[in-house]
Structure 1
Amino acid sequence: MKFSIWHMRATGTACALLAIAACEPVVDSQQAQAPSETPVAATPQATEVEVATPRPDLYSVRALAAWDGRPSLGGAWIAHPDVASAERASITEVATGRTITAALFRRDPSIPGPPFQLSADAAQQLGIQPGVSVELDVVAVRMTTVTAPQPTPIAEPTVEHAVAEADSPTPEPVEQVTPVETVATTVPEPRPEPTPPPAPTSAPTTDAAPERPYMQVGTFGVAANAAALVERLQAEGLNAKTVAAGALTRVVVGPASTTAEQAVIRDTLREMGFTDALAVAL
């Protein structure tokens, strides 16, 4: 009987130890050793853009140009007798430095007037008034595609870095010392007496003679029609005459001695209906 009681006590103790061991939490080794996730920075992607590359070896001319004041089709373009084939060109007005990009075509060399002929859109983009000749620098361009890389994005901080910043102690604020203002006493320097400007040696020129003193009114294939127009212009008090241009006859008014006089002639011609008159030099 004593052996049986001892055996029962030993068996109960072993069962109690097994129950306690079963209640202890089990730690997953893979979960304990799993590293923290770190975001991967995105790879910058490049984009392709088109740029205009100057090609003076294909075409480069500096000459006078004008717009006749009439509306034109085809957008912004410029034409010259020496153009072999259609191109894209960079057009720069020499006086103002304003530059645009437009189409470049060939024009009929028999048409009188400045070498370059502008469309209405090109003249308006350059700020050129109708009937006024300006000097342009025209250079052919070719559109090329280049690769422009995108800026590299800033990578977000990792979990370990964020936790480390959160656990780092906050530095105590340092008391700022306000500096004491000091006022420096300065003695003003004596101002020099103003020197009167030198007297001009000669009076400035108020109005100079225009480079193209004639206003071209029209071009005729029949000389009798040109002569009839000259008589009409002379009846209005204008100094008109005919000028031979090969098989054609040009009708011009002038010469004007000043730009102001040329402006009066141009306004008179426009009132008579000749809105496409151009300033030319014979």
Structure 2
Amino acid sequence: MAIRSVSWVLAAGIVLALAGCEEGAGPFGGLKAAGDGEAAATSATTRLVERDVEAPQVFQVAETGLWDGRPSLGGVWVAYPGVSDPERVIIRNPANGKFVIGALFRRERENPGPKLQVSSDAAATLGMLAGQPAQLSVTALRREEVAEEAPPAQPILDSAETVSTETLAPAPATATIAPEAPPATTAAAAAAKPETRPAARPADRPKDATPAPAAAGGRNLLQIGIFSVEANATRAAEQVKKAGAEARVRKEESQGKTFWRVLAGPAASAADRDALLAKVKQLGYADAYFVTR
């Protein structure tokens, strides 16, 4: 009887061993499936980025424009009747395929001829000749958040696999994660480091546009203009500095075009804003206006 019992025990052990050899039935089969799912879930991630997109619902016209041949301040701009607020726009010349990023303002004076008034800087970039009308397309731009795929995540090691420490290179020193600082130290470091924000891209004004509205809320920077030539932007900023006001030039890009914004300020109060605006107007930039950043 003892021999027969031992035989039954051996037979049962063999059956269990064979069952364990089947794919997916082993003790680590479930762990491998979970690992594959986790890797697939983390391989595709997205992030939000800001980009300029065309907004024809805000403003869009396709009409003839005219540069009268006179030099103008404020960089690249066009003026059109009935515009309520300044807009950043893309201006195209379909005849030669040239385009430029600039500003759109309301045209006050209704002169005979084309409705679109074009600045000297805009005309030079678009290839327009003085006194010769050209067909132009003007479309408003808006900043929007767009989803962009991030690089795929690093593959996750299959938990069912065994890895020999002899075949792996030691982890680099930069991979070591330092312990978190105490809450008091972290708060002090955050207070010591000022927060920085990316610059937005508002538009600028022509000489015969409507007067800029009074600055309100956080609008403490005075925009002098948008320029397609860096040297012109630098010259305008230096002119403002010589008048005793702080000025800076910001290089930005939109729709594949690089341009330079000139900003004066910031002004800390309403009285400072009025004084800054008066000083800039004396330099000839009568239609500069306040922006938030």
Larger Cα-atom Rg:
1
TM-score bin, normalised by smaller chain: 0.3 to 0.5
In the superposition, the TM-score normalised over structure 2's length comes to 0.36
